[in-house]
Amino acid sequence: MYRNIIIALFLVVITGCGKAQSITDNVLPATEFSQKLDKTKDAQLVDVRTSGEFKNGHLKNAMNIDWNGGDFIEKAAALDKNKPVFVYCMSGPRSTAAAAKLRELGYKNVYEMQGGMMKWRNADLPEIKTSTAKGITLAQYNDLLKSKTPVLVDFYAEWCAPCKKMEPFLKKMAAEMPDKVKIVRINVDENTELCKQLNVSALPVLKLYKNDKIVWDNLGLVTEDEVRKQIAQ
């Protein structure tokens, strides 16, 4: 009896590990995602960002089903469960959530792009653009750095949860200490070419410049105390 229980538990572990490995194998870096997409017959490509993000640039033949639109499941029902589904967003979290939901709904082969469009653009892969918005140029960006006070550049996006957490204290600092720091906020969705040139391929990103030279470069959520500490140094 105990032997049978041990065997059963072993099979559960093996099955669970096999499933996890399968999902891991289906999370592909941008270049591999592109190659897999090109080689896959009957691929269904889904962009799970907002319609505004989609217009700023998307993959060829992608259909737009906004993960946060409130009708994702309803619209996803148009997809064939027996054909591969490729999903992507801007940086990864939304496509991960969407892929998990699709698997839960019974879609057999779901592939995710690791790092989303930010990594895709960073790899200089092709995209379709329907928006004429160009954003600021690198020369204009460099002009923003010419200041007697330190310049803190905040690369953000409206869909980025950590960016939203940092926004209140960054705005408070900008109002409280204009003589100590100049804070510049740059929306990555509106400045895709600049982000590519500066190698900004994930969010949130803070870049602190003093005398036109970068002295601190932070990726990820950071506290107000840490930001103030870096400015004061």
- Sign, Cα dihedral of 166, 226, 201, 162: negative
Confidence of residue 128 (pLDDT cuts 50, 70, 90): very high
Say yes or no: 108 and 166 in one domain: no
Active site residues: 160, 163
Residues 65, 46 contacting (CB under 8 angstroms): yes
Entry pTM: 0.76
pLDDT at res. 159: 87
Instruction: Give pLDDT tens digits for 159-186.
Output: 899 999 999 999 999 999 999 999 999 9
CATH of the domain at 84: 3.40.250.10
Instruction: Give pLDDT tens digits for 2-11.
Output: 455 444 444 4
Say yes or no: 148 and 110 in one domain: no
**Exposed (0-12), middle (13-18) or buried (19+): which is 1, by Cβ within 10 Å?**
exposed
Instruction: Give pLDDT tens digits for 67-100.
Output: 999 999 999 999 999 999 999 999 999 999 999 9
Q: What are phi and psi of 157, to 5 degrees?
A: -150, 150
Whether 129 is covered by a domain: the verdict is: no
